[in-house]
Amino acid sequence: MIRTLVVDDDFRVASIHASYVEKVPGFVVVGQAHSAESLVSRIAPLAPELVLLDLYLPDHHGLEVLKRLRQPSFSAHELDVIVITAASDAASVRTAMQCGAIHYLLKPFGFPQLQEKLVAYREMRRQLDALRTADQSSVDRLYAALGRAAGPVPARSHATHTLDAIADLLANEPGDLSASDVASALGVSRATAQRYLTQLEADGRVALALRYGSTGRPGHRYRYRWSEAAAGD
């Protein structure tokens, strides 16, 4: 089992990502961290092999943490890192690559996108563990295994990707979520989350419930509609 540490400043998002990891055979979540110092302090006791690293942490930027993990003081721990972030600027991507990040996964995403990265990483690990002496063909196969998750992506609009990510989030949530919950989990604005939730409701993929609080103004809560989804398959 590949020991995985999930790092995100948002407790709820970290729990969602951890649940995604646990669904992929061959991986086990050994812990969660919500700050850079918490991550660093848990390396020795938890001995993770893979870190899912958010960049926007409350005490230090994730890229600084990634550089720190590559210092000699951590040489005893064979750590691989998948960056998971809403940071889409080229400088962040370049720095993550230069610091040895295995993959760079942009929020928002759903389980299938993370699963694809994890499966490719697991296959690369399997081939690397079996390797005794490297020749060019074996090296090419290793990079090809890892690159399957980073290869050409089927033509899909950003809108479709975001819509599917929100639907997947709700499908993995035992309760219901508000637009604010969805926005926090996927790293989008509340207005964006609300727009896509409204579309999903219109499509029959989610159900809307009104919850009344002390103010008398109803809050909108959304739940995945399993029966309708199954009927459409």
What CATH number is associated with residue 117? 3.40.50.2300
* 118/167 same-domain check: no
Q: Give me the pLDDT at residue 123, please.
A: 87
Q: What percent of the chain has pLDDT over 70?
A: 84
Average pLDDT score, the chain: 82
Chain centre to alpha carbon of residue 139: 27
Q: Which segment of 123-137, 146-160, 166-180, 191-205 scores lowest on mean pLDDT?
A: 146-160
* 57/93 same-domain check: yes
**171 dihedral zone (left: phi>0; alpha: psi -120 to 50; beta):** alpha
Q: How many domains does the chain have?
A: 2
Q: Which segment of 30-44, 62-76, 109-123, 146-160 scores lowest on mean pLDDT?
A: 146-160
Any bridge partners for residue 61, and if so which? Answer: 56
Q: Give me the pLDDT at residue 146, please.
A: 65
* 26/65 same-domain check: yes
Tokens representing 59 are: 């005490």
Q: Give me the pLDDT at residue 42, please.
A: 92
Q: Give me the pLDDT at residue 45, please.
A: 92
* 163/131 same-domain check: no
* 144/46 same-domain check: yes
Condensed to tens digits (0 to 9), the pLDDT of residues 121-136 reads 998 888 877 777 767 7
Mean pLDDT of 90-101: 89
* 22/44 same-domain check: yes
Q: Which of 91, 124, 150 is the last residue of a domain?
A: 150
* 26/92 same-domain check: yes
* 103/203 same-domain check: no
Q: How confident is the model at residue 59 (pLDDT cuts 50, 70, 90)?
A: very high
Tell me: pLDDT of 82 over 90. yes
Mean pLDDT of 116-120: 90
The CATH number given to whatever domain includes residue 183 is 1.10.10.10
* 107/201 same-domain check: no
Q: How confident is the model at residue 212 (pLDDT cuts 50, 70, 90)?
A: low
Tell me: pLDDT of 58 over 90. yes
* 139/28 same-domain check: yes
Condensed to tens digits (0 to 9), the pLDDT of residues 143-166 reads 676 665 444 334 445 577 788 888
Domain range enclosing 83: 2-150
Q: Give me the pLDDT at residue 202, please.
A: 80
Mean pLDDT of 207-215: 70
Q: Give me the pLDDT at residue 80, please.
A: 92
* 146/176 same-domain check: no
* 15/85 same-domain check: yes
Tell me: pLDDT of 53 over 50. yes
Condensed to tens digits (0 to 9), the pLDDT of residues 101-116 reads 999 998 888 888 899 8
